Amino acid sequence: MTERVTLVEVGPRDGLQNEARQIPASDKIALVDLLSATGLTRIEVTSFVSPRWVPQLADAAEVMAGIARRPGVVYSALTPNLRGYQAARASGADAVAVFAAASESFSRRNINAGIDESLARFAPVIDAARADGIPVRGYVSCVTECPYEGAVAPAAVADVAHRLIAMGAGEVSLGETLGRATPEQVDAMLAAVLDEVPVDRLAGHFHDTAGRALENIDVALAHGLRVFDAAAGGLGGCPYAPGAAGNVATEAVARFLAQRGFGTGLDEGGLERAADFARSLREDHDGLATDPA
């Protein structure tokens, strides 16, 4: 039997959050609906964060209300604090996520809190979600390199991942934020994390700045990871990681996995249609591509 790999679609949230022009809620809804028709079982739709910090996602409740929910698809949202969690729950989010970092400087730039403070801030979110029976995912960004501190020690990544699991997160997604990691760096990082966290509680999240995302996914597969984040059309970038390109493209990962003999259950044609539409959202009103970095 073909071994299954799950792709978590993060384009509607992580992919669009850094776009310069305001994308209409109707287009975000259309993107999610296209993605829902591809066989994806997990889609991260939006983030319930202050519009002051991420204006692009100020329409989170509107988007969640407008999507056509398909049976068997988990629609999730990023929730940085208890207020965000409560708004996500009111919107009908099936799962939520919190966002930590393995770099002190990046954590402060990204969420205005150090690592310890950020985890303390997430504790009531995770406790509330567990009480409500809502799955919680923890992100750890900068798992190999930080734009402000340089190389990140694998032990630091393992520590944050372990702490998130101990707090009650069901899964931790390891984010290679800058997209420049070598397979050797990813191998060392995963070896450290796997000493602290079971492989079935981990996901890989790779950006593709240096064109090595698929190589790094191959390393993660060899370590036993079977969940990976991706964004249709390669949407993405990070406002706090200058020069970082978008997430690895969902359609590219699906093809790569098929070539490796893994099953994803995804419709290739449907993914290409969703990717084409996702890429079109990068264009401004004059038809000029915006800078995703």
Would you state the pLDDT for residue 110? 76
Give 283's pLDDT tier (boundaries 50, 70, 90): low
Do residues 253 and 228 lie in contact, with contact meaning Cβ atoms separated by under 8 Å? yes
Higher per-residue pLDDT: 292 or 165: 165
DSSP-assigned letters across all residues of 186-207: HHHHHHHHHTTS-GGGEEEEEB
Is 287 part of any domain?
no
Is 285 part of any domain?
no
Do residues 45 and 32 lie in contact, with contact meaning Cβ atoms separated by under 8 Å? yes
Is 14 part of any domain?
yes
- Whole-angstrom CA distances from 38 to 31, 57, 86, 277 are 11, 24, 29, 13
Residues designated catalytic = 238
Q: pTM of this prediction?
A: 0.93
Do residues 194 and 240 lie in contact, with contact meaning Cβ atoms separated by under 8 Å? no
pLDDT digit string, tens, across residues 104-152: 989 888 777 899 999 999 999 999 999 999 999 999 999 999 999 999 9
Give the side-chain half-sphere CA count within 13 A for 5. Answer: 28
For residue 138, give both structure tokens: 């923890």
Q: Using CA atoms, how far apart are residues 118 and 103, in angstroms rounded to an integer?
A: 12
Q: Using CA atoms, how far apart are residues 26 and 289, in angstroms rounded to an integer?
A: 20
Is 193 part of any domain?
yes
pLDDT digit string, tens, across residues 209-262: 999 999 999 999 999 999 999 999 999 865 545 555 689 999 999 999 999 999
Do residues 215 and 190 lie in contact, with contact meaning Cβ atoms separated by under 8 Å? no
Domain count, the chain: 1
pLDDT digit string, tens, across residues 26-82: 999 999 999 999 999 999 999 999 888 889 999 999 999 999 999 999 999 999 999
- Average model confidence (pLDDT) for the chain? 92
DSSP-assigned letters across all residues of 79-123: -SSHHHHHHHHHTT-SEEEEEEES-HHHHHHHHSS-HHHHHHHHH
Helix (H, G, I), strand (E, B) or coil at 254: helix
Residue 289 has pLDDT above 60, yes or no: no
Is 20 part of any domain?
yes
pLDDT digit string, tens, across residues 179-206: 999 999 999 999 999 999 999 999 999 9
Residue 24 has pLDDT above 50, yes or no: yes
Residue 138, H or E segment: strand 136-141
Is 120 part of any domain?
yes
CATH number of the domain enclosing 235: 3.20.20.70
Residue 292 has pLDDT above 90, yes or no: no
Is 288 part of any domain?
no
Q: Find the domain containing 175 and state its range.
A: 6-280
Q: Using CA atoms, how far apart are residues 77 and 137, in angstroms rounded to an integer?
A: 10
For the chain, percent of residues with pLDDT exceeding 90: 84
Q: Is 78 exposed, middle or buried (0-12, 13-18, 19+ CB in 10 A)?
A: buried
Do residues 94 and 79 lie in contact, with contact meaning Cβ atoms separated by under 8 Å? no
Is 289 part of any domain?
no
Give 175's pLDDT tier (boundaries 50, 70, 90): very high
